[in-house]
Amino acid sequence: MTKAGKNNEKRKMPAAGDKTGKLAGGVDANKKIEERDYSFEACRKLEFHENAFSPFYTHPRKVKTTVKEDAENLHGANFELNVYRHDDAIDFAAKSWEWRNDSNKNQLILPRSTDRKLLPTNCCFTFHDSIRAYYRVIAELEDKYILMACHTNLHGFHRGDLCFVEVTDRTITKQYEFSVIGKLFLGDIVSVTRLSKINKTPLNPPPKALKMTQESKLVWEVAEMRVLVRKFKENVVFAFMKTGLAIVKGFNEAMKVVFNETDSINFNSLYTGDAFVPVKLRCKFIGGCDTREQRIELMKRSSEFVSCPSALGTIHKYQSSKKLTKQFKIGVDAFKIDHKFDPEDVTELCAQMGQSAVLTIFNGRSDSRLFLMQNCDKSDNVIRFSIPNPLKYPTEGLWNCNNRIKIQGFEREFDGTIETVLPNEKDRLLQICARVSEESMREMDFRHGRTYVVHQREPRRAMFLKDGFLKDEHSSKNGSRIIRTLYGGPSLRKEVLDCSQDSTPKYVFPSVPPVSLNEYQNQYVQMITSKKYPMVLGSSPFGCGKSMTIVMAAITALKKSKGSQQILVSQSNYAGVNLIDIARKVKDTDLKILRYVSERNWKELPDQCKTEFDKPVWMETTLKRLAYGEIPHGKDFPMRNVDLVMAYFYNNPRKFHIDLLCDLFRNRYLKNIDEIRDIPIKIRERELFVICMKYNEPNVIVVTADTLQSVARHSKEFVNVTTIQIDEACQLPECTLISLLVQFPNANYGLIGDIKQLPPYCEDDLKGKLKEYGIGNTMERAIQQGMFPEAVLRYVYRCHPKTTDLLSELFYDGKLISGVQEEQRNEFMRKRPDIWPNSEYPLICVDNKDKGYKVGTSCANKTEKLLVKQIVRSLMEKKNGYKLQESDIGVISFYAAQTAILVDSFRGTQVKCGTVDAFQGSEREVIVLCCTNEKISEFMQLSNRLNVAMSRARQATIVIGNLKGLSAAKYWRTILESAEKNGCVVDTSKPPFRVVVEKDNNGKGRQDESNPDPEADSEMGPGAGGDKENQMNKRRRRNRGGRGRKDKRAENPGPSSQEPSETKVNRPETAPAGDKNPKNDQNPQRKRRRGGRKKAGKNAVEKPAELAAPTNEKKRNRGGMLSDWISFPDLNDKMKNLNVTQKK
């Protein structure tokens, strides 16, 4: 090799993006840096080459020249970040090498300002050629701030020194002569133009970026910077939560407060102050890449670095408001007691603060971070994956059930909704199961190493109650009258016709065959449709036929008011489908049903929650009938509407046939195809909806409470609403009801529900007046104080008569009447004597002595899961000509963790699993009720919760719990005694109530693999099916059978491959009884460290394989035959990876 060749070999650089290589040095790093050319151009060339993000920015990014126009449309900080380029980041990184010898000791310490004035900020638009980098304030210490780079392009993987920097008293801020300590807020964004070294440690090589955190020893201090334009809100009204955060009127996100040192905090007072609102950063890397594949790879690389959630707003200056505090304390007595304030002002203040509190708690805290999806798998319209749960900024508590997520993939973006979340404390992961649309399931491909990243979707845009919402409304309107009554005004409870009188109208539900309503149902229908009462309360215990009563009231209202609209509000999609199913039975009426649900949410619904009346399907049907000429549209039909309709079909070509179009639409389509093709149909969907409403004219609109705000955006299309009935109204937050009253002030309202069942859900963080005004318990308060007329339904048509009698005595003072005979509700018990010991009593108790284990803050139970699966399997057997279907069975658990496990166990079936809250409003033929923990917790002894749990079954209920714990618990004691009296405490030594380990062909214990345990690392974690190594190990075990060496499981029964992983949450918190050594727990990791398994004692009882302590899975997985591998691609790579794993 020539001399020149040797020199070139010496200076050879690693490939871009090679994180494992020596990106900025290595063994000979000191020598390299000494020889380096530190000129700007040389450093820039080196930085561009070593930066792992550079290959994605091969083309220069174009910057718009209309700077002022863009600045008007964007917040100043967003505008600056939007025009920042990858080349700018490279320039700053290259420039930092010139500052390598600049010590911060050479800079003067600036004096701190004694006033409380804010920093001057301005937006400069002449910065395109300046060298700068953008940082965000993420931590405030006593004498400095810690800043994190806004863009990962700045540091790549090789310049960890640029990930975090400090701001101290030496930092010079543009247009400010003092120190900035005490003047910045968390979330502030600054433009750094010069750095200085904190110490004299040579920068050769810089630390790796993946190892850097804000607690690391930092290299740089900011020497010069400029604070970007900030957003402030003056004179905001707020109240403190118990956590110290503030609920701010008109905001749906909590804020932090800079406390005054001399002030004490009163949680029942209101304050006013000035708030700083930080800019939300949604992207960690610089835009400008060419293709989607490049963008996904950028997301993947950016997600590997340490990140922190978006900062909350900060209230930096505040004072207590005595006037507002007095109004706040008056609250619901605003129109009742004498005071010096305007009662309308008091009502508006309390309602607005309550609404902000509810929106903050339920919608306002989203996690803006981007995470790489690990261990991905898909099946049965759900996907499973894991995301990190770091100790510093945990995802647990921010990623919850029903959070809406967006998945960025190679194919496109996918929307989803989280169903279950389980923490894995051992690996610091959250195991997530999310529901996506069928279309997304088909397109997603987790094979071939494709990258997917996930983040939460922005919360829905909130519509807040405006100032003057009560003052501006005429006091004679129903909405205004109801609000005034709720806040202490005169009662609207007029004299009500006695339902026992012959003069009460008799209503017949027009189904086939017709169904006559009872006298209590007739009373409700007569009151809600008479228009005499602005609001009617319908007290409806479980199974009293309230759904049929609601639909009958809507039919009657339509007959009395032609061309009117009726709105039916449900608390869940399942309940909405139930109302539609009942309305379907109506014959020979003019019902035109619309179920209002957005297309995005509709795609994520399970099939059993979809109907032909759903908005996306309804719009398609309406537009098709309009284009085919089946709906008369007249000669004056606007051509712009024709173009819009045809643009809809052009983007959905499978939804129409051009040959069936009427002349107007066909001719226009063929003539103007080019113009129609360019119409942006997605942003004009609202216009399409208006067209459908005009020509189809639905008169019954079914909507969930969560979707009410979307309906409000189309308020012009709902101008003829005469009645609004709210199903399960006891679960409706009061602020939602008030918003509805403001939107539809002329309608008559019906609240129908049961105050003996669950109230509105509320987080523990919300207490006191904020909870009272936001969540409230409107129906209970209205009944107790006699605010509105009430109709009480008493006949129970759902449950077995003895179940009705038991619950009536426990919770309803014996006032309920069974509307069915025992023969109508005992077919299952009569036909299944192999399961049911007494066919005349609809309740059995199964003793489960196994202790539950903690999963995060919740609880789970392995034996209970196995019992449930065995019982359900037995229930579905055909005996004596009778067979229960999957959809006839429901499984209820009081604990969220156990619910998540059961949901995954029955994934792909129609067996519904859920918490008590999820089951309110639902029913099944047979219910399996899981107590999970040996001790009956206090929340399980609440009368309303137990009432809901025990009243879901039409025929029979199976309670699985610890009999000793049940006998010591309120209400449960009575239920157990009743079961014992009727001989319904079953023998747990006989199937299906005895835990039985299934046997495979070789006589080995295993669990049914079709319904695996979601906690198992090998299958049912978020990596179920996606971890190919675990799949191969499982196949090898199955295929190996009895061949080769002896299977260790025959001697030492361990868990099957489906059992919970070896995480902290699966181990008992205390040592077993009689074990004096606290270290002798079921932790296999500790046993390995002590040198293998402990030998069983003389009295040790051998557990079934599924209940034994976890064993070393890797030792069992070695060996196998080549035939086990042939069904997998990339044979050599897989074998290499497995060998590496085994060596580790």
Range with the poorest average pLDDT among 161-165, 544-548, 572-576: 572-576
Please count the CA atoms within 13 angstroms of the CA of 827 that sit on its side-chain side.
10
Confidence class for position 171, pLDDT limits 50, 70, 90 = very high
Euclidean distance between CA atoms 435 and 440, whole angstroms: 10
Mean pLDDT of 761-768: 79
In the 8-state DSSP scheme, what is residue 399? B
Q: What is the mean pLDDT of the chain?
A: 81
Token code pair at residue 715: 């308020």
Identify the pLDDT of residue 1092. 42
Secondary element (H or E) of residue 905? helix 896-905
Residue type, 883: K
Q: Beta strands of 174-281 (E only): which ranges?
A: 189-197, 220-227, 231-240, 246-248, 255-257, 271-277
Mean pLDDT of 907-936: 93
Range with the poorest average pLDDT among 32-41, 195-204, 385-394, 699-708: 32-41
**pTM of structure:** 0.80
Specify which of 121-130, 260-269, 889-898 reaches the highest per-range mean pLDDT: 889-898
Domain edges within the chain: 9-167+185-195+219-228, 233-363, 371-456, 474-589+705-793, 592-698, 801-981, 1030-1072+1081-1092+1100-1144
5-13: Cβ within 8 A, 24+ apart: 13/46, 13/49, 13/50
Mean pLDDT of 798-820: 96
Identify the pLDDT of residue 290. 67
Mean pLDDT of 451-467: 86
pLDDT at 173 over 80: yes
Euclidean distance between CA atoms 444 and 384, whole angstroms: 12
Confidence class for position 365, pLDDT limits 50, 70, 90 = low
Shared fold status for 371-456 and 801-981: no
Confidence class for position 75, pLDDT limits 50, 70, 90 = low
**Alpha carbon of residue 772 to chain centroid:** 25
Q: Decide which of 904 and 525 is more confident.
A: 525
* Helix, strand or coil, per DSSP, at residue 223: strand
In the 8-state DSSP scheme, what is residue 1137? H
In this predicted model, what pLDDT tens digit does every residue of 82-118 receive, in sequence order?
888 999 999 999 999 999 888 878 788 999 988 777 7
Strands of the sheet containing 924-930, edge to edge, are 843-847, 953-961, 924-930, 889-893, 912-915
In this predicted model, what pLDDT tens digit does every residue of 961-980 receive, in sequence order?
999 999 999 999 999 999 99
Identify the pLDDT of residue 943. 95
Domain 801-981, CATH homologous superfamily name and number: P-loop containing nucleotide triphosphate hydrolases (3.40.50.300)
pLDDT at 1120 over 60: no
Identify the pLDDT of residue 904. 87
**Alpha carbon of residue 744 to chain centroid:** 29
Cβ contacts of 65 within 8 Å, gap of 6 or more = none
Specify which of 376-385, 787-796, 1130-1139 reaches the highest per-range mean pLDDT: 787-796
% of the chain residues with pLDDT over 70: 80
pLDDT at 531 over 80: yes
pLDDT at 1008 over 50: no
Confidence class for position 1131, pLDDT limits 50, 70, 90 = very low
Helix, strand and coil percent figures for the chain, each rounded to 5: 35, 20, 45
Please count the CA atoms within 13 angstroms of the CA of 976 that sit on its side-chain side.
17
Identify the pLDDT of residue 1020. 34
Confidence class for position 766, pLDDT limits 50, 70, 90 = confident
Specify which of 210-214, 604-608, 1097-1101 reaches the highest per-range mean pLDDT: 210-214
What torsion do the CA atoms of 679, 685, 689, 694 make, to the nearest 10 degrees? -30
Mean pLDDT of 580-607: 88
In this predicted model, what pLDDT tens digit does every residue of 863-908 receive, in sequence order?
999 999 999 999 999 999 999 999 999 999 999 999 999 998 998 8
Identify the pLDDT of residue 221. 95
Query: Are the C-beta atoms of residues 766 and 741 closer than 8 Å to each other?
Result: no
Identify the pLDDT of residue 284. 82
Mean pLDDT of 805-825: 95
Mean pLDDT of 45-69: 71
Identify the pLDDT of residue 980. 95
pLDDT at 1030 over 70: no
Selection from 983, 968, 976, 987 nearest residue 950 by Cα: 976
pLDDT at 738 over 90: yes
Identify the pLDDT of residue 82. 82
Confidence class for position 756, pLDDT limits 50, 70, 90 = very high
* CATH class entry, domain 474-589+705-793: alpha beta
pLDDT at 66 over 50: no
Confidence class for position 726, pLDDT limits 50, 70, 90 = very high
Identify the pLDDT of residue 113. 87
Identify the pLDDT of residue 1070. 35
pLDDT at 1044 over 50: no
Cα(first)–Cα(last) distance of the chain, in Å?
Answer: 40
Query: Are the C-beta atoms of residues 807 and 814 closer than 8 Å to each other?
Result: no
The per-type count for the chain, helices as H runs and strands as E runs, is 36, 38
Query: Are the C-beta atoms of residues 165 and 194 closer than 8 Å to each other?
Result: no
In the 8-state DSSP scheme, what is residue 644? H
pLDDT at 409 over 90: no
pLDDT at 515 over 90: yes
> CATH for 371-456?
2.40.30
Selection from 567, 553, 555, 568 nearest residue 523 by Cα: 553
205 prior amide bond cis, ω within 30: yes
In this predicted model, what pLDDT tens digit does every residue of 207-257 receive, in sequence order?
999 999 888 999 999 999 999 988 899 999 999 988 889 999 999 889 999
